[in-house]
């Protein structure tokens, strides 16, 4: 019986190819817009390190006390740490791996004299940052704990900076100047998405516009007085001007991440934070220890402009569906005479429903194929327009996305067809026969 209704649907669609093409195009464009925006937001809001995020934790400590709280009921510690607290956490080293991080933008002087100096966006981190986040390397590796302690002038650079400074060759052991001091390259990053610096979200409030070009040892950057480029917040101004006074103040500017393998070690680490706060401050301990995904949710790391894109995509899909409803209603009611004759000859309403549902499903399937093509173009456009280091987060048009697009098109079409089909199934045979 299904084959019969499918044959009727195909014959009907062939009778008015122009109207059929308009419905297919409307469904295809609407679904493609919704799927492209959904794909972008889903990719950007996904887990940046899914196999390990449950073991990565961000500690925060209230080093300001109750006097700093301006909102009633707001008991959250600052999202960043001051220098003294970060140093205490590094010194005690209670996690498997840990790293203090802050955003820097020093001036890089190329080796070739004909090239001009430029500002490079980067981070000051500890050597344990690289194994903790499983950072891939094209050449070399990160630095050692001894390099951290000795404030060694070493650097890890991105592949893009390696191309710019050293022509893409293995530059491990080569030196270049940063803010007037020479630094030795110990590693060149491999294929790693640096645009979403999830390890230091509070510093800049979302995805970075400029790709990360280099990493320097935390203690080395502090000793060189490289200022933080990200957000800073102070409860009370530093006693004196200058970086040293800023470092000794209660200003917060440092992110921190620790790897804790089990729930018990995480609980022990939180107890350690409470004891540390109890020793350092006169008020009751106020600390938090969130895993990575809870931390990103708390910060709402996805840019607000990106978060609204799915709403816009769904709105455009609804507009296209309203168009399709109008076209289907006109198409189905134009066949009221045919429906009246079928009903008069004994066809039940469910047969009318089945016939037009088959027709709607065919339109949806065709719209799905068109939607796949438009979605593939949309994903390709995203990969071209987004910064190069973001493209790793935008998926290709794979089998899963293809299947979702087609299912979404058929479902959307059947939803749009519900009212026209209901109207068609409730045509009164006597009225139609009489009028004809």
Residue with more model confidence, 335 or 113: 113
- Over range 190-212, report the average pLDDT: 74
Token pair of 14, please?
A: 């062939």
The CA distance from 165 to 178, in Å, is 12
The pLDDT of residue 4 is 63
pLDDT attached to residue 425: 64
Q: What is the mean pLDDT of residues 108-122?
A: 85
Q: Which residue has the higher pLDDT, 317 or 253?
A: 253
What is the percentage of the chain residues whose pLDDT exceeds 90? 36
pLDDT class of 84 with cuts at 50, 70, 90: very high
Confidence of residue 345 (pLDDT cuts 50, 70, 90): low
pTM: 0.71
Question: At residue 299, what are phi and psi to the nearest 5 degrees?
Answer: -80, -10
The pLDDT value given to residue 359: 76
| 54 closest CA partner among 379, 296, 332 | 296
pLDDT of residue 28: 83
Task: Round the CA-based radius of gyration of the chain to a whole number and report it.
Answer: 30
Please give the pLDDT value at position 20. 77
Query: With contact defined as beta carbons under 8 Å apart, do 313 and 34 qualify?
Result: yes
> How confident is the model over 366-421, as pLDDT tens digits?
888 888 888 888 777 777 766 555 555 565 666 666 777 777 777 877 777 777 76
Angle, CA 310 vertex, CA 360 and CA 31 arms, to 5°: 25
Q: Residue 55 — very low, low, confident or very high, per pLDDT cuts 50/70/90? A: very high
Domain ranges of the chain: 2-45+306-435, 53-301
Q: What pLDDT digit, counting tens, does each position of 156-176 carry?
A: 999 989 999 999 999 999 999
Question: In sequence order, which ranges of 107-213 are alpha helices (DSSP H)?
Answer: 129-132, 145-149, 159-166, 201-204
Q: How confident is the model at residue 188 (pLDDT cuts 50, 70, 90)?
A: very high
Opening angle at CA 13, ends 10 and 19, nearest 5: 165
Q: What is the share, in percent, of the chain residues with pLDDT greater than 70?
A: 78
Rounded Cα distance between 186 and 309, Å, is 41
SS3 of residue 139 by DSSP: strand
pLDDT band at 52 (very low <50, low <70, confident <90, very high): very high
Structure-model confidence comparison of residues 80 and 35, the more confident one: 80
């Amino acid at each position: 019986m299904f084959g019969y209704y499918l044959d009727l649907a195909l014959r009907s669609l062939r009778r008015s190819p122009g109207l059929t093409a308009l419905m297919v195009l409307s469904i295809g464009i609407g679904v493609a817009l919704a799927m492209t925006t959904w794909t972008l937001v889903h990719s950007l809001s996904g887990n940046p390190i899914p196999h390990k995020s449950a073991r990565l934790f961000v500690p925060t400590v209230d080093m300001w006390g109750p006097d700093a709280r301006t909102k009633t009921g707001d008991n959250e510690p600052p999202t960043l740490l001051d220098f003294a607290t970060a140093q205490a956490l590094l010194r005690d080293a209670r996690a498997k791996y840990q790293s203090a991080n802050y955003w820097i933008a020093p001036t890089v002087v190329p080796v070739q004299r004909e090239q001009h100096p430029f500002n490079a966006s980067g981070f000051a981190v500890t050597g344990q940052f690289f194994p903790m986040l499983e950072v891939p390397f094209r050449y070399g590796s990160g630095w050692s704990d001894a390099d951290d302690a000795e404030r060694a002038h070493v650097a890890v650079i991105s592949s893009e900076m390696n191309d710019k400074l050293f022509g893409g060759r293995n530059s491990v052991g080569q030196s270049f100047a940063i803010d007037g001091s020479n630094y030795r390259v110990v590693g060149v990053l491999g294929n790693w998405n640096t645009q979403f610096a999830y390890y230091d979200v509070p510093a800049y409030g979302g995805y970075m516009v400029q790709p990360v070009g280099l990493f320097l040892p935390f203690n080395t950057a502090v000793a060189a007085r490289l200022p933080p480029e990200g957000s800073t917040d102070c409860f009370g101004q530093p006693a004196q001007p200058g970086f040293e006074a800023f470092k000794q103040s209660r200003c917060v500017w440092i992110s921190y991440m620790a790897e804790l393998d089990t729930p018990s070690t995480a609980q022990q680490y939180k107890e350690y934070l409470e004891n540390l706060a109890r020793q350092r401050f006169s008020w009751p301990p106020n600390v938090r220890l969130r895993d990575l995904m809870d931390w990103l949710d708390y910060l709402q790391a996805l840019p607000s402009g990106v978060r609204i894109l799915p709403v816009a995509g769904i709105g455009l899909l609804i507009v296209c569906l309203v168009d399709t409803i109008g076209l289907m209603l006109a198409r189905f009611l134009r066949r009221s005479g045919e429906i009246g004759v079928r009903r008069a000859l004994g066809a039940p309403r469910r047969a009318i429903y089945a016939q037009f549902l088959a027709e709607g499903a065919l339109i949806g399937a065709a719209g799905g194929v068109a939607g796949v093509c438009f979605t593939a173009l949309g994903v390709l456009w995203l990969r071209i327009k987004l910064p190069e280091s973001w493209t790793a987060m935008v998926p290709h048009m794979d089998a899963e996305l293809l299947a979702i697009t087609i299912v979404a098109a058929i479902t959307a079409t059947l939803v749009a067809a519900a009212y026209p089909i209901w109207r068609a199934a409730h045509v009164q045979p006597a009225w139609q026969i009489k009028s004809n």
